[in-house]
Every structure is written in structure tokens, then in C-alpha cells.
Chains A and B, each alone.
Chain A
């Protein structure tokens, strides 16, 4: 079973920042937070990961709370092509990734 809780769906206006929350209150000290997304009918795509520091790459930013019990994925300027299901996953690297139901993000023009 997934160790994370995400809202089932969210809307975001095109050009605005999309902030996707994730709760992982039972996360262990050696577990990373990974974010993936799956655009309709395509294979999942890795976005970003972090342990305890905030991270940023060309796709997104990841903000992890100090107690590591929750995190937020930020897409700074959402476009229509960012419409997808976003998965938040916690994993130690010792087991295969477990995908939950994710958040269905709809970017609206």
C-alpha cells in the first residue's frame, strides 16, 4: 500500500503556479520523497526527488517540511501540457516503487 496521501484532483489556471500537496506522516529517516507524473496513456515520468532539503530542477520545485511529514510539488507556471496524474512516493531504494492513486491535475486555459 502507498505510504502517502494526496488529494484526488486539483485544478489550476494556465500560467499560474500549481501546488500539489502530499502527506507522508509515517516516512522513515532513510526514505526519499519522489514525484512522478503520468500524462494520459503515456508512461510515468520522473519529476524530482528529495530527502530533507528543498530541491529544484528544470521541471519543478519540491518543498519538504522540516519534520518531513509532508511535501509540496510546485510547478511554477503551469501549462496545458502539465495536465496529468501526479504521484508522490516515499521509498528507501530497497523496494520497488509503490504508486498510489495520485492527484489528477487539470490545467485550465
Chain B
């Protein structure tokens, strides 16, 4: 059973470009969470999605950021018109949310560098 897969692992963008980060949850998991970790800081929750629905986006910046988790395919975190402050590691986690709702399985992260 493969773990949570994130790609790309590393992404370099110039200011103003778009970044798309993909996350394939573990098999059988229908809940996906995105977290951001700025350099030398802790993990900050961004958004929680269940198949085709956004459940909680209280941690998402109001502009330029969007997320989706379509019926088929991976979850996508999209950052439009990137700025240097978007440089961070973006972690995706999945959960079946059955017996242990707080047991999340994290991917290895996507590291975005904005030049």
C-alpha cells in the first residue's frame, strides 16, 4: 500500500508564475489536508478536503490560493502569481477518518522556491 504521494518534490518558479502541487492520498483515504511550513517555522493548516468538497479552508490565504480534490485524480493545490513569500514546504496528508480521526498520513512534501 503506497503512502501519500506528492509531486513535484521540488518546484522553482519566478515571481508571477503559477505553481501546481499534486497529492495522491493513500488508497482508501477520501480525506486530504494541506499544510504549509515556512523555513524554520511550524506547520500551518491550510485546507481540508473530502472528495469533491472543501470542508475547511480557514487557513487558506484569501487570494491566489485554491485547492481541489476531484472525484478522479489527485488533490491539487494551486498558487497563482507566486511571490517570494510563498517559498515553503507544502505537505499533504490523508486520512480515512474512521477509528482515529487525528491519525494523518503525511507525504514527503513539495518544496516551492520562488525566485
Contact = CB atoms under 8 A, between A and B. Distances in A.
Q: Do A and B form a real pair?
A: yes
Contacts of B4: 43
A32 B103 CA distance: 11
Given A96-B33, A97-B45, A98-B45, A89 B106 contact: no
A66 to B, nearest CB: 22
A93 B104 CA distance: 11
A46 B105 CA distance: 7
Nearest to B105: A46
Nearest to A102: B42
Contacts, number: 52
A99 B42 contact: yes
Nearest to B35: A99
Most buried by B among A89, A91, A93: A93
B interface, size bucket: 20 to 34
Interface string B77-108: 00000000000010101000000111111111
Nearest to A33: B102
A93 B107 contact: no
A97 B46 CA distance: 11
B43 interface: yes
Contacts of A68: none
Contacts of B107: 43
10 contacts: A34-B103, A41-B89, A41-B109, A44-B106, A46-B103, A89-B102, A93-B101, A96-B33, A99-B35, A99-B44
